[in-house]
Amino acid sequence: MISSFLNCFKIPELKKKILFTLAIIAAYRAGCYIPTPGVNGAMLAEFFQRINSTGQGSIFGIMNMFSGGALEKLTVFSLGIMPYISSSIIMQLLTAVIPALEKLAKEGQTGYHKINQYTRYGTLVLALIQSFFIALWLESPQAFQGLQIVNNPGWGFRIITVITLTTGTLLLMWLGEQIQEKGIGNGISLIITAGIISAAPSALRQLILLMSPQAGGTAQLQPLTLLIMVAFLIAVIIAITLVTQAQRKIPVQYARRIVGRKVYGGQNTYIPLKVDTSGVIAIIFAQSIILFPATLASFIPNQGFQTMASFMQRGSTLYYIIYGLLIIFFCYFYTAIVFNPVEVAENMKKHGGFIPGVRPGTQTADYLDFVMTRITLTGAIFICIIAVMPDWIMASFKVPYLVASFFGGTGVLITVGVMLDTMKQIESHLVMRHYDGFMKSGQLKGRR
């Protein structure tokens, strides 16, 4: 594998793409340290440190993870790329329910560029709304346990914050598109992954402190426990890789047709149905909904509302039950949006294709729906396990949530998937120029 990585720099075009991608990621990480005017960074960092130590979550905690820690410093990239992700998901949902957008999506490259432009407009609108509410959130001392985050609150601060954070999000969107066009890998996904990995030094520092001898002469984290955690991490990465690439192959045969002197069809192929179609999207939706009451409770000083929100906080049994049900629901919901068995069955019937033992048309659609429903349940249960894993590790091994999140959870799921996609693209360049891939036998498979 090391020789394959070295071969990447022997191909001028691939070398240029890799270096360009690394330069864009470096520019992104530099922007994560440029502060927004009017914010007391020390107080804000203290507030997020309290949240991390208690393990309680909020929507802002999710945004902080996806922004690579930029939100807890309130830098120009504090919103991260989340508005673009939300806009993309909304456009996918609208494409499935609005006939005009569905027709536009079928127009090939022209339709894709038009929908992408609508996604950009949606990103701008969402960034303006989110940045305005963040400005209001920063001005509320009760939301920060009495800490004064903004030195001079008012409309001047709100306008500057909205302009700064919205511009930062649009710049990140542009950087991601530049990676997509001139670099290697999925630009938006790589930016998210770089933000997640950027928290690794802090997690490693906390891990070293846990292994250092305390006042009593014993360390809080024993070497054997750390070895078990590392073995557990390896098992989690292998499991995520297997489930991410897992698919059910539905055999399809095409009838032979003779048109003039040419023979068409007569071949055997298959339809790959993915076990995990939604991926991390289901976790993002579920986290946003289940943490919403706790976030509102920080704004509304009503004792009854705060008591109700306390039952929904991380650590309670009700939290995990509702969290798991939400993940399963969104796994099925997103799968239903991106995979239409009726449309697939109609396309097969038009081209003379059929599944052996299943009649074309309605029975084929019912069969595909039945298979997809069963394998999606398997993927949804796996996603549930991955989502709650950091909480289980934190409770079992008595480690901070930041450390536990690197041994399972959303961050690991995103990182493994993005690395698979990126290595797949690099491997395709190597194989095309007659170099060996990263694997001795077979080839890597991305998430799509």
* Residue 385 to residue 236: CA distance in whole angstroms: 10
* Residue 161 to residue 134: CA distance in whole angstroms: 8
- Asked if the structure places residue 404 within a domain, the reply is no
Question: Which domain, by its residues, includes 98?
Answer: 1-192
* pLDDT level of residue 370 (50, 70, 90 thresholds): very high
Please work out, in degrees rounded to the nearest 5, the angle formed at the alpha carbon of residue 369 by the alpha carbons of 363 and 375.
135
Mean pLDDT on 30-46: 82
Higher pLDDT, 285 or 265: 285
- Asked if the structure places residue 368 within a domain, the reply is no
Tell me how many domains the chain contains. 1
Say what the pLDDT of residue 299 is. 58
Mean pLDDT on 301-328: 73
In this predicted structure, the answer to whether residue 91 has a pLDDT above a threshold of 70 is yes
Mean pLDDT on 410-415: 83
Say what the pLDDT of residue 372 is. 92
Say what the pLDDT of residue 125 is. 92
Model confidence pLDDT, tens digit, residues 46-86: 777 766 655 555 556 666 666 767 777 788 888 888 888 88
- Asked if the structure places residue 212 within a domain, the reply is no
Mean pLDDT on 267-296: 77
Token readout for 102 is: 């569905």
Mean pLDDT on 338-344: 86
Say what the pLDDT of residue 65 is. 67
Say what the pLDDT of residue 263 is. 60
CATH number at residue 72: 1.10.3370.10
Contacts of 116 (CB under 8 A, 6+ apart): none
Say what the pLDDT of residue 226 is. 84
Least-confidence region, from 28-42, 117-131, 247-261, 384-398: 247-261
Mean pLDDT on 350-354: 81
Mean pLDDT on 16-41: 88
Say what the pLDDT of residue 375 is. 92
- Asked if the structure places residue 8 within a domain, the reply is yes
In this predicted structure, the answer to whether residue 434 has a pLDDT above a threshold of 80 is no
* pLDDT level of residue 162 (50, 70, 90 thresholds): very high
